[in-house]
Structure 1
Amino acid sequence: MTSKTVLITGANKSIGLETARQLGALGYRVWLGSRDIERGSVAAAQLRNEGYDIRVLAIDVTSDESVQAAESLVRSEDGKLNVLINNAGILGGQPTVPSQQPVDEIREVYETNVFGAIRVTQTFLPLLKAAGHANVVMVSSGLGSLGWLSDPTNQFFGVNILGYNSSKSALNAVTVSFAKELAEAGVKVNSADPGYTATDFNDHSGYRTVEQAAAGIVWLANQDSSGPTGGFYFEQSQVPW
């Protein structure tokens, strides 16, 4: 059995894939989670060719059945999980003003960005506890910071996307709730803001690279038992809720 294991959801491309690469380089066995098993297999093969211990894991975070099947496979192979990174997320439709965004579209965003993270965390919790010390990282966004979004001087003040922004604010609240419950069990839970990164989300208009974005996530994922919990971080600095 390998010494360190990590599951990353939505890891077949962009920030998730780079996070898998960086943690693989640190010696983790990486469960590369992907809703599309074919795309996940291609990504996993790429990282294995670079010399990392990568296993593809079919997981649709919106499906109870899929998440439970994924947990069963990780349990049978490793029996524990040192790190869970809830990276899977969607933007929703084309950005529009809050008064015009369809409720069904907002609900779809929440199903992945919020309920998906809750579902995966709850399901994998026994494996996280079995590790003795574990880290959970919720991949949030600066657009989920109410402090930043309500500050007219902040660069994100004008980005008013109801579904996506509020889903990340809700994910931050989920982070705090899990952190409080799991502190005594040795499971640390934090949110990470990867910053405005060039990905499919923004047609690669972001000014940060995936390498930069993943570094802050990896920093939280690799904390020891003395590390923080219940916080929201951009790189290694706290972000206002």
Structure 2
Amino acid sequence: MSNTKIALVTGANKGIGYAITAGLGALGHRVGVGARDESRLEAAVEKLRAAGIDAFGVPLDVTSRLSVTGAAELVEREAGRLDVLVNNAGISGEMGPGWFQDPTGLDLDVVRTVVETNVLGVIQVTNAMLPLLRRSGSPRIVNVSSSVGSLTLQADPDTEIGPVMAAYAPSKTFLNAVTVQYARQFAGTGILINAACPGLVATDFTGFHGPRTPDQGAATAIRLATLPNDGPTGSFFDDDGPIPW
């Protein structure tokens, strides 16, 4: 078996996902670029290869069981195993002015759509990739979350945590809770799973508002994806360390 680490990043054709993929590739990983838009996927793979990174495309819509199954089969054919899974794909859902989601008038279809991608998609992809991860000597899973998913921070009136986002923020709280349940299930298996907060990054997701670059936003996820075997699991981190639940 090759010593080259194999990684798959979802939502990897742009923004933070692309930066995570490029960062892992620069560390010597062979990287699967997961994305649902095949033309953007191909462009991202070409750009990574031009930078000297060993990348391959993985067409992947995390909300589609058929697509996820196909992605697992593709990784199986390409690499035979998976060492790193970064669940980065996510959506905010429809926002009001000021990037605001009012819980008192929220369309339930918006909530369903956000949870379908940000939580159920993560579960679906993780479970499909588990047989491949279990073939690794040091499997790592990173779920890209957000500090707005922290109930502790959201409930603190003295914490500046941004506008009310009644669909997006709870989806990240849900994702954090799911991450902990996986960590409990994986105890003693060698699979380390953690949640990463990239901070407020200037990408199209945020309307290019934010003080951080995609590379800065990718740093914590890359660190968690490359933890030593005695590293933490079932925890939530940003650049400064653990974030309260």
- Tell me which of 165, 168, 189 is aligned to 2:169: 165
CA contact (8 A) 1:137 1:192 kept: yes
Q: Percent identity at matched positions? A: 45
Evaluate the alpha carbon distance shift between residue 16 and residue 5 of structure 1 in structure 2; reply closer, same or farther with a 3 A threshold: same
- For normalisation by structure 1, the TM-score amounts to 0.97
Count of paired positions: 240
- The alpha carbon displacement at 1:96 in A equals 2.8
Report 1:170-189 matches (<5 A). Answer: 170-189=174-193
**One-letter code aligned to 1:216:** T
- For normalisation by structure 2, the TM-score amounts to 0.96
For residues 155-208 of structure 1, give each alpha carbon's deviation from its aligned partner in whole angstroms, at most 9, with x where no partner exists. Answer: 10x521111000000000010000111122210000000001111122111111
- The alpha carbon displacement at 1:71 in A equals 0.2
Report 1:198-237 matches (<5 A). Answer: 198-237=202-241
1: CA distance, partners of 2:75 / 2:101: 40
1: CA distance, partners of 2:107 / 2:27: 43
Which has the higher mean CA deviation after the structures are superposed, 112-121 or 180-189? 180-189
Evaluate the alpha carbon distance shift between residue 60 and residue 84 of structure 1 in structure 2; reply closer, same or farther with a 3 A threshold: same
> 2:148 matched to 1:147?
no
**One-letter code aligned to 1:167:** S
Partner residue of 1:84?
A: 85
Alignment RMSD: 1.0
Partner residue of 1:65?
A: 66
1: CA distance, partners of 2:240 / 2:191: 19
- The alpha carbon displacement at 1:214 in A equals 0.4
**One-letter code aligned to 2:108:** V
CA contact (8 A) 2:139 2:192 kept: yes
**One-letter code aligned to 1:52:** I
2: CA distance, partners of 1:131 / 1:205: 38
Which has the higher mean CA deviation after the structures are superposed, 88-97 or 10-19? 88-97
2: CA distance, partners of 1:216 / 1:235: 6
CA contact (8 A) 2:9 2:86 kept: yes
2: CA distance, partners of 1:52 / 1:2: 16
